[in-house]
Amino acid sequence: MKKGIHPQIYKDAIITCACGNSFTTISTKKDIAVEICSACHPFYTGQKRYIDTEGQIDKFTKRVKAAQESDKAPKTKKKEAGPQAKKPLTLKDLRSA
């Protein structure tokens, strides 16, 4: 195998969660920050709560409000088409004329 192409392995990599929990594992990075871990995830804790990462719920409610407001806005009527343009003559029409 070639030397120097493989990443460095850290046997004491520290993973730190947003809840404050931290644990040690093996990784190619020395320090890893995560938003949720087994100590605070609802599946593991048995608690029912929302996990809102980066305001996804807020983004969704904003889109729903915008959609409802656009439905309430008066719709403009489409312009009626003017006189219809003449159809171009076909070869058959040109021969008979």
**Whether the model pTM is above 0.75:** no
State the average pLDDT for the chain.
Answer: 82
Annotated binding residues: 17, 19, 37, 40
- Fold adopted by 7-46: Rhinovirus 14, subunit 4 (4.10.80)
Query: Binding site for Zn(2+): residue ranges?
Result: 17, 19, 37, 40
pLDDT, tens only, 25-70: 999 999 999 988 888 887 777 777 666 666 777 888 889 999 888 8
Residue 93 has pLDDT above 80, yes or no: yes
Residue with tokens 């093996």: 26
By the 10 Å C-beta count (0-12 exposed, 13-18 middle, 19+ buried), 38 is classed as exposed
